[in-house]
Structure 1
Amino acid sequence: MHADHLIRMANQIGAFFEAMPDRAEALEGAARHLRSFWEPHMRQELLAQVEAGAGGEGAGLAPFMAEALRQHRALVAG
């Protein structure tokens, strides 16, 4: 799957979870969503884009989703 498409989908997921009142719960929820509903190759490609893009925002990720991936990388990668 094309990296730009993965980033766009991740940002849409992040926008949904960012609206939650508890930020810690929202960050974990976004990561759990990726773990639960994305194929392993999709998660690996997204994480590779984050690593190549200086922490996430440089890869086109919204700051919220970049933070979720940094804090819960092991959950997403698993």
Structure 2
Amino acid sequence: MKIQRLIKMANDISDFFNAESDKELAAEGVKKHILRSWDPRMRKDIIAYFQQDGAALSALAKAALAKLNTNNID
């Protein structure tokens, strides 16, 4: 899957969870959604993008990916 599509998906998920006033809880929601719904290859690709640059990701997407980055993503 192209990285631009993954970026859009991560940002769209973050937009949904951004309504949560507690941003830590919102980031956890994004993380859980990605873990539950994304194929491991997709997770690896978005984590690699986040680690290399991540400029096109929303702040909430970055916070969620930082949490994913510290976990086993397989």
TM-score (norm 1): 0.84
> Structure 1 or 2: larger helix share?
1
**1:46 aligns to 2:46 (yes or no):** yes
* Percentage of identical aligned residues: 32
- CA-atom RMSD, angstroms? 1.5
C-alpha change, 1:11 and 1:17, in structure 2 (3 Å) is: same
The unaligned stretches of length 5 or more in structure 1 are none
**1:62 aligns to 2:54 (yes or no):** no
Matched residue count:
74
The unaligned stretches of length 5 or more in structure 2 are none
2 CA distance for matches of 1:16 and 1:42?
19
Alpha carbons 1:31, 1:72 under 8 Å: kept: yes
C-alpha change, 1:76 and 1:5, in structure 2 (3 Å) is: farther
2 CA distance for matches of 1:2 and 1:33?
19
Q: Which residues in structure 2 correspond to 1:1-78 (within 5 Å)?
A: 1-53=1-53, 56=54, 58=55, 60-75=56-71, 77-78=73-74
